[in-house]
Structures are given as C-alpha cells and as structure tokens.
Structure 1
Amino acid sequence: MQLILHRVDLRLTHTFTIAHDSRDVQPTLIVELQDGNYRGFGEATATRYYGITIDGMASALEAIRERIENHSLADPEQFWADMQPYLAQNSFALCALDQAAWDLWAKRQGQPLYKLWNLDPSNSPLTDYTIGLDSPERMVQKMQERPWPLYKIKLGRPEEDIALVQALRRHTDATFRVDANCGWNVADAIQKSKILASLGVEFIEQPLPADDWEGAKRVYEQSALPIIADESCILESDVDRCAGYFHGVNIKLTKCGGITPARRMIFRARELGLRVMVGCMTESSVGISAIAQLLPLLDYADLDGAMLIANDPATGVTFGDGKVVYAKENGTGVRLRLGNE
C-alpha cells in the first residue's frame, strides 16, 4: 500500500465569514492510499481556529509512513486503532487517513461503503446550504444564487442577528437553521430563541462559548428551540458530557478523528437520546463524499462544503434540492481529478 499526499487550495465562490474567521481560500490535504488497482481518498482542511496546518498534517503522516504502507488494512476499525496512538495530537490528519482507509477497503469489497454498513439512503435527511455572515443584501443574493429548501444562517453579531434573519425571511419560505459560532451570551440565546422560533428557525447551533457549561445548562432549559452542540462536542467523550446541556450534537469528522470514531459517537448519542447532526469544514467532494456515507444514521446534515468552492478537485456525491445523490462508484464514490488524473 502506498501513501500519497495532495496539497490543494480550494477557492471559495464567496468570501466565507463566521463569527471568528473570514477566508477566500481553504487549504486542504487529500490523502490517497493506493493498492494495486484500488485508490482510497480522504481529506482534512487546515484551520487557524484549531491550530491545524497542511504542513503539520503532512509531517504527522510522513512520520508514520512505513507503518501505514506496511499495514494490511483488512479491517478499517483496526487500522484506525493502530494509527491513532501516533496521530492522537492531530485528529485532522487521522481523519483524512481514516476516510482513505474506509474508501480503499470498500473499493476492495466492490461495494459502496454505505451498502457495506447495510444503510438505506432513502432515509437520509436533507443537507442545508450555508449562508456565511455578510450584509443582508449580500446574504439575500447568495440565497437567490442557490434556491434551496434548507439554509444554515451564520450569525454572531448579537445586535444585528434578529434583523438579519427577518430580512432573509422576507425572501424565502425555506427552513432556517442558525449558527452563532459561540458569539452570544445566555440572555441573548434565550431571548433570541423565542423570536427565531417565530421566524421558521429549526434549531440554534452553539450559541455560547464552548466552555460555558453553566450557561449551556440554562439555555438548554429555557430555550424555545433545540440547541445543538458544535464546538462543545469534539471528542467521543464529549457526547456524554453534552447530555442534559444540549438537545443534540454536531459531529465533525476532522475534529474527532474520522469515520471510525464518528460512528461510535452517533451510536452513543442515540443511546443518550440526543439528536445527531454531522457537519463539514468546507471540504471538497473527497471529504463530503466520505461524510455522506453516514447520512442514513442522522437527523440533520450540513454537507455543503463542496458546493461552496469553485475548483473542486474531485467528483463524488452531489446534492439535488438538498437530497444526496450517490456517485455510481464503489467506496465513498470519489474520483480525483488533479492534474492529468
């Protein structure tokens, strides 16, 4: 088995702004595992918020190249367990490697990955389409460019948030979800939840700073809308902690270390009665196609990453009016198209 690393700069169609970041280019690392005629792909993006760089991920993987290339990969879960001790400090690199492993393994079996898990994609939830924080006029324009049944609205300017959602609501009947990206306080969240409920908002994602557990409890008990944890739910152990503080969790594969731990987190959240969402980090079709294999297990999905970029380096799953359309390929459905590929 051969390890190949591809560094790619993803160009965003629009400047993407959230409460703590703004960017026009998203650097990403695509991991390829090649074994004879089979090629498995995985991906993880760089992020300043979590201190993740492309060089850091590449160095972490290069340090264990021999272990990776000599592994039999007979079982992706065992492969993850064997690699995790060496990549424990870089969950993003572990995620990209794990996705590639599952893709390669399923291609060896000659089946799409979701079929090997006995999942029925007809039960998949719709994915939302994210509207990054901007002026009301620009956000309306972004909605009009892509009519969609379900929008995720990035907020985080407490004095403007309600007026912004009201302005957007005048232009669409689509369901809204709002994501404050840790930008509110307790009073903001409770008060705004009542108004947002009347504006057709389905839930609020991570209104408070990630470590404000006392505040999260109060919002959980008094909010007029479900509250979904994002920055407060990173590792597997965080799922248990979120019970009684949030109504659901948003699992990000890059943060937890890949498909393998994400599946365990989904099953554990179900045991605890939590709603389950899986989100993305503006990945290309490589990462989105890997995440999409989990869709039938979810209540909510935020898998619009590939739709936000102008130079997708791969093909894979697509979304028609919010509904996943799986590629007619085995594994996760990814085909890379870098250079002459």
Structure 2
Amino acid sequence: MPRLSLSVTTDALRLAQPFRISGYVFETADVLVVELDDGTYRGRGEAAGVYYMGDDLPHMREAIEGARKAIEAGPTREALRALLPPGGARNAVDAALWELEAARTGQPVWRLAGLEAAPRPIVTTFTISADEPEAMASVARGYRAARSIKVKLTGELELDLRRVAAIRVARPDVWLGVDGNQGFARADLDALVRGLGEHRVALLEQPLKRGEEGLLDGYRSAVPIAGDESLLSLDDLTQAKGRFDVVNIKLDKCGGLTEGLMMAAEARRQGLGVMVGTMIGTSLATAPGFVLGQLADLVDLDGPTFLADDRTPSVTYTDGTLFVRPEVWGTREAAAR
C-alpha cells in the first residue's frame, strides 16, 4: 500500500435532548474523525471511544499520533490490530482503511467483508433514556414506527420496573429489551428478572458491573442476558459462555469492523447470540456497524437519532429499520474526495 496522508479531527456533537443512563447524563458527544488519503482515494472513520474505560478524545488522539508513522505507511487491517489496542482510536482508523480499500478496488465494504448478498434494511432498536415512567411511556408512543425498543434503566429496582410497565402498556406490540448499564447488584437480579418477565421483556443487557461477571456463573435467567461492558473485545469472549446468552459487539469497544467480524464468528462458535450496538455518533460511525448488523440477531444502531444534526448524506430510518445507502460510507462513491 502506498504511503498515506493521515488527518485527525474532532467534532462536538449536540444532542437533541439530554440522554440519561445508569450513572451518566449526556448532553453532548465528542467524536474523533480519521481520514486516510493516498492522493487518489480516501477513507474515513469516526469513533466516540469508550467513556467508562477513560477512552476519550485526548486518549484516542494520543494513541493515533503515537502510531502515525506506522499508519501512514499503509498497514493492513490485520496489522492495525497489532499497532493499536481495542478502543476508539483503532476503530476510526480501521473504518478508514475499509473505506479506502473499497474505493481502490471498486468493491463495497460489504463484499470485502465476505457477505454473500448486498445489505438489506435491518430492524433496529430505538432507545429510551431513563426518566420518569410516564415520560418514558410518552417517548415510546412517539416511536410510532419502532418495532423494537430498548429501555435504559438506572439500577433503582422498583422505579425501573415501573418504567418498564409503563412502556409495555404504551407499546404492547414491540420487542422490548432493557439495559442495566452495570447499575444492579447481584441481590436484585431475581426480582429484576421476574419483573421483566411479567412485562414480556426479551433481553436484559449488562445488569452487573464489569468485573462481576463471575457472579453470573450458573445463574439461570428466564430473560436472556447480554454482555456489553463485560465483553469489550475478542479476548473477553473467553469468559462469556455460561455467563451471558448474547454478546453485544460495539466497534468502539473492540476496535473496529475487522475485530467485530471476528467476535461475531467466535460468538457463533460458542453458541451465543450476536447483538450489534453503538455509542452515540453520526451516520459515519453507524455505517460500519450496519455491515456487521447483517450478521446479527439483534441490532441497536440508533445513535444518529439522538443528535440535533447528523452528517449529510445520512443513514435512513424507515418503518423501524435502518438502511445505509452506498453514498454514506464504504463504497467508491462515498469515498470520493
């Protein structure tokens, strides 16, 4: 690969409304944007990092600048996995390498990734930020086209179950999942699972803190449990089986689509379900996840819907589904300078 020019910029994204989860309230989202240019073609990638791991903009920028010479030398995507650790920095560079390869070869990223057919629209969850029960129910009613809803909980057991109950009454028709974001104690789990089952909740994501995975050994839950913060990258999957039913793969966590595809294959090998999630970001960050989402059982790629303004061109949300048109990312058309 010829020598590349590496550009690293940052954007401060403004959220349309504050977004609350267990332990955090977000009003803005800072993202890092990488562009790799060979003089003829370019590739782009965006990353938000992993806030609960201290993977913020300064950390991501420092990691990329520390590897600038090697990146500009034009590494393969596999070589990049040795240059940068899992996290946002590698994710942004990895996405740029994918798009650059697509532009050079005239092959879209989905084909380079080994998909057998062109990507199709996929059902995605639409997330409801933690709030008072009736306010959350109102949001659920507002998601008229949604087929799948994910509810952010805060670890307040009684209040959380009232939140779920209100949403289920408001939307008896949708697939419903909840995200604990590490907010619950092991002692709450039986009551939580029982209450979720009463409201036909189909997934419980990350109820316990990262590092407490062992408390799930041998636990039989009537509601499937997904690992998110506990399962950052491929290496973490060694501790998934017997604790989690589903692996939530986020490209910011694992370091990009290259490793995300590897994680999906390993999850399948272990008999685990595959979920694709995202941090808050623009359509540029969402598009690589859409490719991985073609292989997933569950898709949670609604990040751009929380923004006051998205990039143009943007991904498309229609009738509860997500679709990424060729001009957004990952094709020669999208990578045109």
Instruction: Report if TM-score (shorter chain) is over 0.5.
Output: yes
Amino acid of the residue matched to residue 92 of structure 1? G
Q: Which residue is equivalent to 2:206?
A: 206
1:4 aligns with 2:7: yes
Amino acid of the residue matched to residue 2 of structure 1? S
How do 1:130-279 residues align onto structure 2 when only pairs under 5 Å count?
A: 130-147=127-144, 148-156=146-154, 157-172=156-171, 173-219=173-219, 221=220, 223-279=221-277
Residue 335 to residue 314, structure 1, CA distance change in 2 (3 Å): farther
Other structure's SS at 2:123 match: coil
Per-residue CA deviations over 1:192-220 (Å, capped at 9, x if unaligned) read 2222123121110011112123321243x
- Which of residues 45, 49, 54 is equivalent to 2:48? 45
- Give the drift of 1:332: 2.4
In structure 2, how many angstroms separate the alpha carbons of the residues matched to 1:159 and 1:118? 44
Q: Which residue is equivalent to 1:26?
A: 29
CA contact (8 A) 1:17 1:23 kept: yes
In structure 2, how many angstroms separate the alpha carbons of the residues matched to 1:145 and 1:187? 34
Q: Which residue is equivalent to 2:316?
A: 318
Per-residue CA deviations over 1:256-311 (Å, capped at 9, x if unaligned) read 11111111111011011000111101121111001111122111111000111112
Per-residue CA deviations over 1:221-279 (Å, capped at 9, x if unaligned) read 2x111111111101212112111111111011111111111111110110110001111
Other structure's SS at 2:308 match: coil
Amino acid of the residue matched to residue 129 of structure 1? F
> Which 10-residue stretch deviates more, 237-246 or 186-195?
186-195
Q: Which residue is equivalent to 1:301?
A: 299
Amino acid of the residue matched to residue 44 of structure 2? F
Q: Which residue is equivalent to 2:88?
A: 92
Residue 39 to residue 122, structure 1, CA distance change in 2 (3 Å): closer
Residue 111 to residue 105, structure 1, CA distance change in 2 (3 Å): same
Taking only aligned residues, the RMSD between alpha carbons, in angstroms, comes to 2.2
Residue 158 to residue 218, structure 1, CA distance change in 2 (3 Å): farther
In structure 2, how many angstroms separate the alpha carbons of the residues matched to 1:138 and 1:56? 36
- Give the drift of 1:324: 2.6
Residue 335 to residue 27, structure 1, CA distance change in 2 (3 Å): farther
Q: What residue ranges of structure 2 are gaps of 5+ in the alignment?
A: none
1:327 aligns with 2:330: no
CA contact (8 A) 1:32 1:40 kept: yes
In structure 2, how many angstroms separate the alpha carbons of the residues matched to 1:275 and 1:243? 11
Q: Which residue is equivalent to 2:101?
A: 105
In structure 1, how many angstroms separate the alpha carbons of the residues matched to 2:92 and 2:149? 27
In structure 1, how many angstroms separate the alpha carbons of the residues matched to 2:280 and 2:185? 27
Other structure's SS at 1:36 match: coil
Per-residue CA deviations over 1:135-177 (Å, capped at 9, x if unaligned) read 2233233223332111100012223111111111121122210
CA contact (8 A) 1:44 1:287 kept: yes
- Give the drift of 1:123: 6.7
Question: Aligned residue pairs: how many?
Answer: 328
1:129 aligns with 2:132: no
> Which 10-residue stretch deviates more, 53-62 or 244-253?
53-62
In structure 2, how many angstroms separate the alpha carbons of the residues matched to 1:46 and 1:255? 7
CA contact (8 A) 1:111 1:330 kept: no
- Which of residues 69, 76, 83 is equivalent to 1:66? 69
Other structure's SS at 1:160 match: helix
CA contact (8 A) 1:32 1:42 kept: yes
Other structure's SS at 1:293 match: helix
In structure 2, how many angstroms separate the alpha carbons of the residues matched to 1:84 and 1:164? 41
In structure 2, how many angstroms separate the alpha carbons of the residues matched to 1:13 and 1:136? 20
Other structure's SS at 1:159 match: helix
> Which 10-residue stretch deviates more, 96-105 or 309-318?
309-318
